[in-house]
Structure 1
Amino acid sequence: MKNKLFVKAGQFSFPLRVFLLGIAFFTVFRLIALFYNLEGLQTVTDHKGSLLAEAFLVGFRFDALVMCFVMSIPFLTGSLLYLAGKLHRYVLAALYTLTGILFIFCLLVMAADMPFLQYFCKRINDTIFNWNNAGGFGVKMIFENIKFCVFAILYLGVLGVYIRILRGIYKDHVRNLPLSAPSFSTTLPVVLGSIALLSVGMKGRFGNDDKMISKAFFSPYGFVNQLSLNPVYNFCTSYFDRIRPGNERLHWMSDSEAQMIAQADMQGDPQYAALSPVARMQHTQASYPRRNVVLVLMESMAAHRMKRYGNRENLTPFLDSLAGISYCFDSTFSSGIHTYNGIYSTIYGHPALMNKHMMDVTPLPQMDGLSTTLKKQGYQTVFFLTHNEAFDNMHTFLLGNGYDSMIGQKDYPESEVLSAVGVPDEYMYRYSMPLLGQLYANHKPFLATFMSGSNHAPYFVPENIPFRPHSSSSEKAVVEYADWSLRKMMEYASKQPWYDSTIFVFIADHGVSMWNDRYEVPFSLHHIPFMIYVPGEAQGKAIGRLAVQTDLYPTIMGLVGSDYINTTFGIDVMKERHNAIVYSSDDILTCMNDSLLYVYHSNGRKPGLFKYRNNGDLTNYMNLMPDAGKNMETKAFARLQCSQSMVWPLKR
């Protein structure tokens, strides 16, 4: 009996080999992620070896879970057919093919995760679907980036190795298929035992499994925690969480409660509540009434790239010099981590709603903001960008919310379009000057908004121009080029008749992530430059109070506009002070005041409360200061949900 059971159990060694093969490939990719992001270990101050060992041990649990899901249907089907004596060669081939296809998808996700992990300091998630509306642009951007191409080659190489090994296991399995139907009584215990093990491995399920995801966050170090996660698990859970009924919208509290809290928080005036729960009259007393406004949204220009904020590589000599003669808001943070977050929050004064792409929702939100308010006050409005205006639904959203026209890739000579991000920054600025001259000739002030593109992958510095970067790194070279392009823009503008009657505003759409940040949401990804330059005023003024992108609209209105009703979540940071600011990094929501940093995770992990000014203190004070944490949580939840109820109402 024991010998028969052993023989029958031998048939299940082949699925085990397939399982271990998958685990081996997951482990290889985790090792690649480690060595590709070694700078992430800089923040780990003690017990590096033991923490890395635990990360790989926890990672094995996630890898096993994914492999159990990959193998569940093929294994269960094969086991039942084996019991019935129907597991023939062609059926077995189909089951191995299905397993291979599912794992090939896993390999694709793991390869795509590598550049995603380095750029965002987190495992890949479903936000990549936000490229849906401009797929051609997204694909071109990927394949023009050498890093993506390297990982594409890696994927193809690993794919070939995996298929070859899997095929070898299949052939061995075929050779060892029994010639006659197995004994039901001796095989059933093995089948049931294997199914029990499969069930244990699948414990946690794809979806909102708080207990399972919490296993990955066992240390205070973001890199170590992210290393332990399986990217396939992270991608699938974020996707299934997005499509689950009821999860389309934020719903921490009732909309009426959120509006009441936000109204009190933002000092909204009840007499204007019909316009917005947070609406209040703004008396501007403008210092520069009806001046033109040139607003430059700088792609990925993190504050830490500037010498002013500690960078020693001299990447932004022009911005650093400009900061010294401008109103410079040194503690400004981006509302989100994507360009669409930056445009939406900067121009229209609303927070980024975590994973939501609010420029691509139906019906099209009708927004108050810088473009719409200045247009009502007689301004002409134009938006310039380097690339395809359909990307991120910019064309539809911006033309539907206050912009008269948009100049993009379709308008430039084809010979000047040099990469997936369109024309170089300097060419866009140069191209715009005659058009702005035409607007000036209409004897009406204008708002000209620029969205730069060069400081975005694929990194490309034009040739045959009077500029040479000193950085050997392409990522740093394009920062230098973007800074040089801004210098050229100001040179071009200074020769225009409208220059002296204009204010120039510079702010980034978001920063870039760096593993040497101690907190899970890197400050470098959100801390951004924000400066306002007024020609003729050479003495700068540093403003250190907390600011966020939503503040740009009321701040600019306070300088150039007439009185207006502010229906947004921004304040004039020249005159007012925040009790807290709120920003999000996809699935993580952050609330910050002058001393505390509250961090909320939408996947159900326990929130964190940190004294971020204490030299990067990693102690979680949530249990020690529960009232402070709860107050910041309520404030953040109310602002986002109130904003959602205003611009994305429930369908009737």
Structure 2
Amino acid sequence: MATNFRHPSYTSTIMFDSAFKLLLRRLGLMLCLYMLLRLLFYIFNYSAFADASSGQTFLAFVYGLRFDLAAITAVNAPFILLSLFPIGNILNPSYQRFLKVWFIVTNAPFIALALVDVEFFKFIGKRSSNELATITGDILDQLGQLAQYYWYLILAFVVFLILLSKIYPKQTAPVIVQKNIMVRSLRLLLVAALAVMAIRGGIQLKPLRVNHAFVLEPASLGHLSLNSPFTFIKGIGQPQLEQKHFFPDEQSLVTAMAFDPGKFSHPTEEQRQENVVVIILESFSAEYVGALNNGKGYTPFLDSLSTQGLLFHNAFANGRKSIEALPSVLAGLPSLMQEPYITSAYQANRLVGLGTVLQDAGYHTAFFHGAANGTMGFNNFSKIAGVQEYYGLDEYPEELREKDFDGQWGIFDEPYLQYVSRTLTEYKKPFFATLFTLSSHHPYTIPGKYKGRFPKGELEIHESIGYADHALRKFFKTASKQPWYSNTLFIITADHTQKSADPAYQNELGHYRVPLIIFHPTQDLQNINLKQVVQHADLYPTIVDYLNIKTDKVLPFGRSVFDTGKTGNAILYNNNSYFLVQQDQVVELDQEDQAKVYSFPDLTPSPSLNPEAEQKLKAYVQYYRNAMVHNKLYFWND
């Protein structure tokens, strides 16, 4: 019988012919195989997931299907094209044998990678990414020893390949070939569209990323939901950090950073049961705040609030983008590489956020951002940081959404902040909430009824700064009438700076200078040095210190602003050099690891270099890079 025979009960317009059914069965086989590999991964690394209940573990397996579909489709994209090629007899026996060989050869390396991760996960604490490329030489040098020690993985690989070859779906039913080239072409286009959707993980705002896996509790289940082919593919093209070796061991690093890993492990006072609200203002430079610039500014409410709280004169963001702010604020991790942590090759590294620490201390935690869900990966990172509830545009009351939408990004600040105030009132106390505003984001839209009310200023952003400041005034007015207000610590800062009109801010430090206000309605927070250098990475230890929380999960970069025994500093990276900002000097470490020193704050070159400051900056750089590469940010208790 000719292989292009068409069964008489089918017409030429049938889409589900034999070739298409075969393709679905073969991809289904890979889906089952990936699930089997996940089960093997789970068994060998059970201790990493022992804290999860059986129900949570089951959900992690189910959620993993999304990542499996993405990886299988990406790996087998050429196979899909060849299986549904619109021209010729694709069911010819010789062609089908070619497809089988292609299928096995293409998938074999990724099966091997998944098997390697069964053991490699124990060493790096995450699924493999493109860091494998940096250790290929070491693997080849030790190949014989590795093969001898992990022989069972090689055996498993052989078994998987034999299994794949034996149960690879073949044509058994009567051959039904769709002859109409136009229909076959349209079908291929439809399948291609579905394949793109599978690879990007759906039709959501941002394509599927590694950190999307960390949405379940406990967060460690994210590694179970992921698969190694997906993390490896996502890591292709992402820059890897070069390790540094200024110091011989971890103890010398700790000494140079003047870091005490157990600083907050044994607080002498009883834990405070106070709420904490962190407000991150979109694109607010310190330049816009009148209280920091002899009254010249666009923030009358912040200026008045600063007289009742603590306004720091030398506060710095640890990055230049919104996406870089959250790791600094919620995890104490500054942005010290070219790629933002949230989208980097290290996004699956172990990171203990402020939300996790406060949850363990009995806090209800939430994150509010009135933009579209998924914007800048905030929803996923907030989960990684231990925040229980995420509120985005989708959670805003539907009956108010159209009226309060700014036409670009999300909900205008004034109505959104009122919504946050009402929502917080419903929370169990104590709570920890982070609020990220958006109206001062380009194109700086403000509601029509406020046109002409706020100063236009010299830059297009200035009017929206005035509106955002007004929205804050209304928020505090409403909040002050709520039962939780008097027992709440407020921290107000900005994610990053924006355009500048003042030459005093048009330098390397000015690009990072943001406002930072700490305010409590009923507590006296005085006797603090307001000229000290502070940074976003200080907020985590500051909150832990203020609340007397017990934890050893505070990273070395930050310090509590209430700690009068330590000198403040900020660490910055401009994609070329690292900077350590201190109150008496600024140390720069360039790409050649050469140190330079400048005066603070005018950045005048200085002939005298403080050796301790240079060593401290080098220690920060080595710790950050090497800990990222080895997933050892918490090496003191790993």
- Identify the TM-score tier after normalising by the shorter chain: 0.5 to 0.7
Aligned to 2:446: 461
Q: SS state of the match for residue 552, structure 2?
A: strand
Residue 407 of structure 1: aligned partner: 391
Contact 1:261 1:638 in 2 (8 A): no
How much has 1:391 moved relative to structure 2?
2.0
Q: Which of 574, 585, 610 is residue 585 of structure 1 equivalent to? A: 574
Identify the structure with bigger relative contact order (alpha carbons < 8 Å, sequence gap 6+): 1
Deviates further, 358-367 or 447-456: 358-367
**Alpha-carbon distance change, 636 to 470 in structure 1, aligned in 2, over 3 angstroms:** same
User: Which deviates the most, 576-585 or 420-429?
Assistant: 576-585
Distance 1:466 1:244, change over 3 A: closer
2:481 to 483, 490, 495: 495
Q: Distance in 2 between matches of 1:293 and 1:300?
A: 22
Partner of 2:508: 522
Tell me what 2:493 maps to.
Answer: 507
Q: Do structure 1's residue 251 and structure 2's residue 237 form an aligned pair? A: no
- Deviation, 1:261, is 4.0
Q: 2:353 aligns with which of 369, 385, 388?
A: 369
Superposition pairs of residues 232-247 of structure 1, within 5 angstroms? 247=239
Distance 1:438 1:249, change over 3 A: same
SS at match of 2:340: coil
Q: Which moved more, 1:368-377 or 1:569-578?
A: 569-578
Do 2:330 and 2:385's aligned partners in 1 also have CA atoms closer than 8 Å?
no
Deviation of the 1:522 alpha carbon: 2.7
Q: SS in structure 2 opposite 1:506?
A: strand
Question: 2:533 corresponds to which residue?
Answer: 546
**Structure 1 residues 452 and 262: CA distance shift in structure 2, 3 A:** farther
1:451 to 411, 416, 436: 436
Distance in 2 of aligned mates of 1:551 and 1:314: 26
Task: Return the letter of the residue paired with 2:543.
Answer: I
Distance (whole Å) between structure 1 residues aligned to residue 269 and residue 599 of structure 2: 37
Kept in 1, the 8 Å contact 2:264–2:544? The answer is no
Task: Write the deviation string for residues 250-307 of structure 1: whole angstroms up to 9, x where unpaired.
Answer: 42228x84744432234445xxxxxxxx454444456981101111011121112112
1:333 maps to what in 2?
316
In the TM superposition, residue 635 of structure 1 has moved relative to its aligned partner by 3.2
Point out where structure 2 has 5 or more consecutive residues left out of the alignment.
1-199, 207-234, 634-638
Distance change in 2, residues 1:480/1:516 (3 Å): closer
Match of 1:397 among 371, 374, 381: 381
Whole-angstrom distance in 1 between the partners of 2:250 and 2:525: 41
Residue identity in the other structure for 1:564: T
Instruction: Indicate if the aligned counterparts of 2:277 and 2:489 stay in contact, CA closer than 8 A.
Output: yes
Task: After TM superposition, give the deviation of residue 249 of structure 1 in Å.
Answer: 1.5
Residue matched to 2:256: 265
Equivalenced residue count is 399
After TM superposition, list the pairs within 5 Å mapping 1:344-359 onto structure 2: 344-359=327-342
Contact residue 258 and residue 639 of structure 1 kept, 8 A = no
Give the Cα–Cα distance (whole angstroms) in 2 for the partners of residues 250 and 521 of structure 1: 28
The TM-score with structure 1 as length reference comes to 0.55
**Secondary structure, counterpart of 2:327 in structure 1:** helix
CA distance in 2, matches of 1:545, 1:420: 38
Gap regions ≥5 residues in structure 1: 1-131, 139-241, 270-277
**1:145 aligned residue:** none
Percent identity among equivalent residues? 21
Question: Which amino acid in structure 2 is aligned with residue 453 of structure 1?
Answer: L
Contact (CA 8 Å) 1:587, 1:601: kept in 2 or not? yes
**What value does the CA root-mean-square deviation take over the aligned residues?**
3.5
> How far apart are 1:433 and its partner, in Å?
2.4
Q: Which residue does 1:387 correspond to in 2?
A: 371
Compute the TM-score of the two structures, normalised by the length of structure 2: 0.56
Distance in 2 between the 1:581 and 1:636 partners? 11
Partner SS, residue 304 of structure 2: helix
Within 5 Å, give how 1:408-447 maps onto structure 2: 408-412=392-396, 413=398, 414-415=401-402, 416-439=404-427, 442=428, 444-447=429-432
1:643 CA drift (Å): 4.7
Contact (CA 8 Å) 1:360, 1:392: kept in 2 or not? no
Q: 1:363 to 1:535 in 2, by over 3 A?
A: closer
Q: CA shift at 1:533, angstroms?
A: 0.9
Q: Given residue 240 of structure 2, which amino acid in structure 1 is its aligned partner?
A: E
- In 2, Cα distance between equivalents of 1:448 and 1:383: 6
CA distance, structure 2, for counterparts of residue 363 and residue 644 of structure 1: 9
Shift of 1:452: 0.9
Amino acid corresponding to residue 290 of structure 2 in structure 1: K
Q: How far apart in 2 are the matches of 1:519 and 1:257?
A: 39
